[in-house]
Amino acid sequence: YLGLGEILMQEFDYAEAEVAFLRAHTILSNLFAYSLLGVLARKYRKDLALSKTIHEEIQRAYPNKFVSNTISLAIVYLYESKNKEAENILEGVKGKGEHALELAAFYSIARDTQRAYHYLQRCLTAYRAYPAKRRQILEYVQRDEDFTNLRGYLLFQKLVKQK
């Protein structure tokens, strides 16, 4: 269910992704699925309060140990105009490359397009040997609402034309 939910999110089928993550969380007590339900609460349901509640619950239980959730909570803080809190929560996360795409989303929402582009490039570099995956990431970034600000960045536009 977790893998299915991730695929459905990439396809922007948020309603079905929510069902898959709910099943993964309910049946398997999967923490990542619960965190992704928080992401869907923000993106699909537009329920910032529910998203914040889910991410804060996980953050309290696993402080700074679940990086994806930490970044998601920071994004919620951005939407609440709590930029200082958002930056503070990411203090221990900034150097971690395996979450580059999530950090690119964070900085795009924060309107720091230079850093958003930097993290996107870092993500794409990790998939240098996999051109199809790189194209998939670029297509996702062109459609996902979290990257709206990045799409207006000139270097990003050039990158898309090169793909």
Cβ count within 10 A of residue 82:
14
**Residues written for the chain:** 163
Tens of each residue's pLDDT in the chain, 163 residues: 999 999 999 899 999 999 999 999 999 899 999 999 999 999 999 999 999 999 999 999 988 789 999 999 999 999 999 999 999 999 878 665 689 999 999 999 999 999 999 999 999 999 999 999 999 999 999 999 999 999 999 999 998 888 6
The 3-state secondary structure of the chain, one letter per residue: CHHHHHHHHHCCCHHHHHHHHHHHHHHHCCHHHHHHHHHHHHHCCCCHHHHHHHHHHHHHHCCCCCHHHHHHHHHHHHHCCCHHHHHHHCCCCCCCHHHHHHHHHHHHHCCCHHHHHHHHHHHHHHCCCCHHHHHHHHHHHHHCHHHHHHHCCHHHHHHHHHC
pTM of the predicted structure, to 2 decimals: 0.91
Q: Looking at residue 107, what is its pLDDT?
A: 96
